[in-house]
Structure 1
Amino acid sequence: MRHPEYQYLDLLEQVLERGDERLDRTGVGTRSIFGTLVRFDLSDGSVPILTTKRVYWKTAVKEMLWFLTGGTNIQPLVRDNVRIWTDWPLATYRRETDADISQADFERRIAEDDSFAARWGELGPVYGKQWRRWMGADGREYDQIAGLVDTLKTNPASRRMLFHGWNVAELGSMALPPCHMVYQYHVTSDGRLNCLLFQRSVDLLLGAAFNFVGAAALQLMLAQQAGLAPGELVWVGGDVHLYLNHLDQAREQLTRAPRPFPTMRLVRRPASIDDYRIEDFEVSDYAPHASIKAEVAV
């Protein structure tokens, strides 16, 4: 059987060979294709943590746990050594203050100075806000995650088990509009939980690997809370692109052969979806190739 990671490597190759090249909002430029799909089977305990480069899976899981808190400020992430969201508030700080500050110094101030973090660490109403505190036209806040967990338990045959983050009224206030924007769930007659994630835009070299891990971790948590077994993770990409300063790294990754996917398990069953910690996730048999470094386009 062909290794499932080849689905990702095939996407890299397709973008390199026939991607449409154009300028983008970052000014870096991209090469992209439109409309893709990959499938990963989680039922045997394996998870799609890419092996053709090292993926820092704990960072991806910590990010997902932060989303579930409903938080929108990077301070708890920075304090937990997660720096993947720093670039956007740092760019805003430099632009608005004209300050010549390094990323390390900015992150130190975010971590140590609550008032500074409150002013400069805020991302606006991004993922967590929409997932847990969507503001309805009726003036009420809606917790999409809590509603999903309840439906998984009480009406698993429903075709309405989904949540999303594309709140049109609040897009302009977000540091970055949601890329992985719709998660839909499906329960089979034998009790397996499937997920379909639609991602409107994906940085294929840097972002996709984290999105696969985060979605898989969330699927495991939801399955456990609802008394289900993990099934299939289906990922659908809209604008799937490589930044023009990532092309050499993509070519390097394509020279590497995939190794067996690791397994991920939850070592305890928390009382609710809100009570998971990074220590609850155990990954075994992860033996990837070396990491591949690349710059984030902001």
Structure 2
Amino acid sequence: MRHPEFQYLDLMSRVLEQGDKRIDRTGVGTLSVFGAFARFDLSRGEFPVLTTKKVHWKLAVKEMLWFLSGQTNIRPLLKEGVRIWTDWPLARFRRETEEELSQEAFEQRILDDERFAETWGDLGPVYGKQWRRWQGADGVVHDQIQALIETLRNNPYSRRMLFHAWNVADISSMALPPCHMVYQFHVSTDGKLSLMMYQRSCDLLLGAPFNWVGAVALMLMVAQQAQLELGEFVWVGGDVHLYLNHLDQARLQLTREPRALPTLKLVGNAASIDDYRIDDFELSGYTPHPAIKADVAV
């Protein structure tokens, strides 16, 4: 059977060969295709983390745990050593204060000064706010994650088991509108949980590897809470792109052969979806090629 990672590598080749060259929001420019698909069978215990480059999987899981916490400030992330969201509040700080503070200095001030963090570290009503505290026009607050788990437990064959973050009224207040927008769940009659995640905008080199890890970590947690086995992870991409300053890195990655996929499992039983920690996740058999560095486009 062909290695599942070739779905990613083939998509990368398609973007390089057929991508539409476009000027994007960041000004960096992209090669872009519209519409992409990947499917992974998790029932065999295989975890779809890339092996053709090292992916810092713990950072992606920590990000997912942060989403689930409902928080929108980068301070808890920085305490966990996760720096992937700093670029956006730092850009706002430099723009509004005209102070050229380095990223390291900015992050240290966020960590050291709670009041500074409240002012400059918040990202607006991004993922966690929408997932756990979506506020309707009537003022009622909706916890989409808890509602999903309750439905999985009580009505697992429902076709309404999904959550999303595209709250139109809040988009303009977000540091970055949600890229991975919709998560829809499905339970087969033999008790296997599958997830389809739609991503409207996908940075293929840097974003997809993190988003896939986070989604599967979420599946593990939700499946445990609902006492279900894992089925398939299905990913659908809208605008899938490589930034023009990522092309050499993509070509390098395409020269590498995929290696055996590792396994990711939970080592305990958390009382609720809010009680998971990074130490609950155990990865085995991960022997990837070296990491490939690239800059984030802001």
- Counterpart Cα distance in 2 of 1:256 and 1:198: 27
Matched to 1:222, the amino acid is V
- Structure 2 partner of 1:64: 64
Match status 1:202 vs 2:202: yes
TM-score between both structures, scaled by the size of structure 2: 1.00
3-state SS in 1 of match to 2:256: coil
**Distance in 2, Cα, partners of 1:240 & 1:29:** 13
Cα shift at 1:228: 0.2
Residue 252, structure 1, aligned to residue 252, structure 2: yes
SS at match of 1:43: helix
**Pairwise CA distance, 1:100:** 1.4
Opposite residue 175 of structure 2, the aligned amino acid is A
Task: Tell me which residue corresponds to 1:153.
Answer: 153
Deviation at 1:109, TM superposition (A): 0.6
2:133 is aligned with 1:133? yes
Structure 2 counterpart of 1:174: 174
Shift of 1:30: 0.5
Ranges in structure 2 where 5+ consecutive residues have no aligned partner: none
Q: Are residue 54 (structure 1) and residue 16 (structure 2) matched?
A: no
Name 1:274's counterpart in structure 2. Answer: 274
- Structure 1 residue 112: Cα displacement: 1.1
CA drift of 1:45 comes to 1.3
Match for residue 119 of structure 1?
119
- Listed one character per residue, the Cα deviations across residues 18-61 of structure 1 (whole Å, up to 9, x for unaligned) are 00001001000000000111001111111111000000000000
SS at match of 1:246: helix
2: CA distance between counterparts of 1:112 and 1:159? 46
Percent of paired sites with the same residue: 69
Which residue in 1 is equivalent to 2:220?
A: 220
Deviations 1:267-298 (A, max 9, x none): 00100000000000000000000000000000
**What do residues 86-143 of structure 1 show as CA deviations (whole Å, max 9, x unaligned)?**
0000000011111111100100111111000000000000000000000112111100
Residue in 2 aligned with 1:5?
A: 5
Distance 1:167 1:20 in 2: 29
Match of 1:40 in 2: 40
What SS class does the counterpart of residue 275 from structure 1 fall into? coil
Q: Which residue of the partner structure matches residue 183 of structure 1? A: 183
Q: Which amino acid aligns with 2:163?
A: F
Aligned residues: 298
User: Using the alignment, how far apart are the partners of 2:218 and 2:167 within structure 1?
Assistant: 21
- Quote how far apart the aligned CAs of 1:190 are: 0.3
Report the counterpart of residue 73 of structure 2 in structure 1. Answer: 73
Aligned twin of 1:233: 233
Distance 2:21 2:100 in 1: 33
Q: Which amino acid in the other structure matches residue 66 of structure 1? A: W
Residue aligning to 1:243: 243
| Superposed CA offset, 1:227-258 (max 9, x none) | 00011000000000000000000000000000
**Equivalent position SS for 1:35:** strand
2-structure distance, mates of 1:275, 1:235:
27
State the partner residue of 1:108.
108
Consecutive unaligned residues of structure 1, counting only runs of 5 or more, are none
SS of the equivalent of 1:223 reads helix
Q: Segments of 4+ in structure 1 off by > 3 A?
A: none
- Distance in structure 2 (CA, Å) of the matches to 1:33 and 1:215: 22
Counterpart secondary structure, 2:245: coil
Secondary structure (helix, strand or coil) at the match of 1:273 reads coil
With normalisation by structure 1, the TM-score equals 1.00
Alpha-carbon distance between aligned partners in 2 of 1:24 and 1:7, rounded to the nearest angstrom: 25
Q: What's 1:261 paired with? A: 261
